[in-house]
Amino acid sequence: MINIEFECVEGHRFTGTFSDYKSFLDQDNRKMIKCPVCDNPEIKRIYTGCSIHAKNSSIKKDNRYDLTLYEQLAKFSRFIKENFIYVSDSFTEKARAIHYGIEEEKNIYGKATLDEIRELNEEGISVFPVINSEKKYN
């Protein structure tokens, strides 16, 4: 079972419960999901936080799925540094230039504030904030 949060165009929020993601997609494609308050089928999905369950650190790590969350983040950070171009503080300008076709498409990473990330997303520019996993947090 999965729960998905929705909001209709009238601003009513509600939760839908589905047997699996495929069931959600099927009902969504057939416009079967409607607001329980006003019966309006014009809804949007609201993304909410997720639950992360830490594994016992004594588990042997022969399998890539046995890595802790921090180990996975460090691995992801290494992948980005090895395969993306670092553009430092000019990240938002470069992301816009790539999105609008001013610069050629390429994978970049750099620095941006949460407000800048929010603005990019509002413009339809998909960006993914990543924490610096090189730092140790205690």
- Is the pLDDT at 82 greater than 80? The verdict is yes
Report how far apart, in Å, the C-alpha atoms of 11 and of each of 38, 78, 126 are.
10, 41, 25
How confident is the model at residue 115, as a pLDDT? 92
- On whether residue 51 sits in a domain, the answer given is no
Strands 85-86 and 43-46: unpaired
The reply to whether 80 and 111 lie within a common domain is yes
- On whether residue 87 sits in a domain, the answer given is yes
The reply to whether 69 and 115 lie within a common domain is yes
How confident is the model at residue 47, as a pLDDT? 75
- On whether residue 128 sits in a domain, the answer given is no
20: Cβ–Cβ under 8 A, 6 or more apart, which residues?
1, 2
Range of the domain at 73: 64-122
- On whether residue 26 sits in a domain, the answer given is yes
- On whether residue 7 sits in a domain, the answer given is yes
Number of folded domains that form the chain: 2
- On whether residue 57 sits in a domain, the answer given is no
Answer yes or no: are the C-beta atoms of 2 and 29 closer than 8 Å. Answer: no
The reply to whether 22 and 70 lie within a common domain is no
pLDDT in tens, 23-74: 889 999 999 999 999 999 999 988 766 544 455 555 455 555 677 887 888 8
Ramachandran region, residue 88 (left: φ > 0; alpha: ψ -120 to 50; beta: rest) = left
The reply to whether 41 and 83 lie within a common domain is no
Ramachandran region, residue 57 (left: φ > 0; alpha: ψ -120 to 50; beta: rest) = alpha
The reply to whether 68 and 112 lie within a common domain is yes
